Chain A
């Protein structure tokens, strides 16, 4: 656009803005290579080492810094994220499927579902804990925490699937039906391959949001802590660079999930293209 000053000025500003977004994490990553066990969670780096990474895996001799209590939490969080992913994707797909036909009350249902991602976790968590207490239900990560995780991730899956179905040409399904293909087989052979990219995105959203979910889980899970709760527990006491090293590792894990997603997405797109080419021939 116009103005010879404004454009470069805004470009520089955007660069500074991106720096502002990334700087804390970069600093954290650098400090995770602090010398141990005496090095503190601040500059200067007394000596570069991978001590705190080995510390997380229990490969260092015992010192005054207790190991992070993350082993069991990790297993719980992964299981919980998997359960949440399956259920919320399923709910998202069928609810969005219903929205392909106009029905009375669809507006109310839409807002009810979207409310799940808008209401702050601390309120949902508190309410769930109150309901569980009143009904005499024990709170567990696989019970009360699981249902509120789905309340949180289901709207994301629903919105993703809604966007997919909006661009979906239903005449291909009708063609299959008119050729006498059963609805179940049509879904498997026609509908599902077409909506697969959406399903994959919904799964990715649900898994990562649940894996990282903290404020809902705080009240809704019982004594057994999930990974974010275990990490939060270390905040109150003095922090050590081992939590920085953990931050780097958990970020790498999230990125590898993203990479798996990208590979699967690429395969799906390539397969769709191959089918399209076959049709042309």
Chain B
């Protein structure tokens, strides 16, 4: 991987430059894959950008270029608030997956020195991914509802008198659901990086009298940063592109950009949907580029 591409999100030219220097068979072998990705990934994304400038009439779109759909988006409070909701939920879920996931990664990657046990623990974390995504989302309904498991348990413990109604069909339920669904993508990369720390370094620091807090700040945290960044990229891309969790758990109260796209397509407003899609793409590109700035992954990995 010699090219110094700094962002993952910018679509590269699908026609790879042909060089006579290298074996020609390699080009024959990559051609089918490159053509497939060019036709069915790059072309659709370019089409989306193009269509965002088409003219939207009530039921169809015409290839007459205009910026009207863009103006509509930025003039509408509904759309702008949906952009803000997306950013807010992304930030909250990103912070929560990091906070909730880091201690587990610390235990699995650093404190369990037995390779078999740490593999077993990681597999245990990954197994829920073997169930359907939609079922995992739906499983939160009987957990969070007014008569849900959490309320029943809290009431049985005597911690609350009245069931908490704010758990389901609110922004909170979307955040809880997304955190549980995506936290493993944070745990995996961090645990991987922590597992590569040479125990002798920590040993040496301790012999020199450093407490755990100091060791964590000066050794463990910096060395785990590439894992944090990779995990943050995974979580960010997935949360920003979400719509199913918010649709199923918020009772249509939380409208992310993804939900906007679904509603717009549902009412055949293809040009508006494309505008939202482009904004989402740009947002994601900025986030990934920003995260890659924090750590030079090419050097660290």
Contacts and interface: CB of A to CB of B under 8 A. Distances in A.
Contacts of B40: 128, 147-148, 150-151
Given A23-B143, A98-B26, A250 B132 contact: yes
B121 A14 contact: yes
Interface in A100-155: 101-116, 118-124, 126-131, 133-134, 147-148, 150-151, 154
B108 A14 contact: yes
Interface stretch (B7-15, B70-78, B221-229, B289-297): B7-15
Contacts of A91: 32-33, 36
A131 B16 contact: no
B152 A43 contact: yes
Given A25-B139, A101-B22, A154-B33, A120 B238 contact: yes
A11 to B, nearest CB: 6
A10 B106 CA distance: 8
B116 interface: no
Q: Across chains A and B, which 5 residue pairs bring their CB atoms closest together, nearest first?
A: A120-B241, A127-B44, A107-B3, A98-B29, A24-B139
B206 interface: yes
A263 to B, nearest CB: 16
Contacts of B16: 104-105, 108-109
Contacts of A7: 111
Given A120-B258, A148-B40, A126 B138 contact: no
Interface in B35-56: 36-48, 51
A118 B9 contact: yes
Contacts of B206: 2
Given A24-B140, A112-B34, A126 B41 contact: no
A105 B20 CA distance: 12
A28 B139 contact: yes
Given A14-B108, A214-B133, A131 B139 contact: no
A231 interface: yes
B45 A119 contact: yes
A147 to B, nearest CB: 4
A13 interface: yes
A109 B8 contact: no
Contacts of B39: 147
Given A112-B12, A120-B280, A103 B36 contact: no
11 contacts: A10-B107, A21-B125, A24-B140, A28-B138, A95-B30, A98-B26, A106-B3, A107-B5, A111-B1, A112-B41, A131-B43
B184 A130 contact: no
Interface residues of B, number: 100
B161 to A, nearest CB: 18
A186 interface: no
B47 A131 contact: yes
B139 A17 contact: no
B48 A115 contact: no
Interface in B119-170: 121, 124-125, 128, 130-136, 138-143, 145, 147-149, 152
A1 B219 CA distance: 14
B149 A103 contact: no
A111 B12 contact: yes
Contacts of B101: 17
Interface string A222-246: 0000001001100100010001101
Nearest to B48: A127
A258 B262 contact: no
Given A14-B121, A106-B1, A128-B44, A27 B143 contact: yes
A159 B135 CA distance: 27
B142 A108 contact: no
A20 B42 CA distance: 38
A36 B21 CA distance: 70
A119 B17 CA distance: 24
A254 B12 CA distance: 35
A42 B22 contact: no
A51 interface: no
A10 B135 CA distance: 29
A67 interface: no
Given A106-B3, A111-B12, A115-B11, 5 more contacts: A3-B212, A43-B147, A119-B45, A127-B46, A228-B133
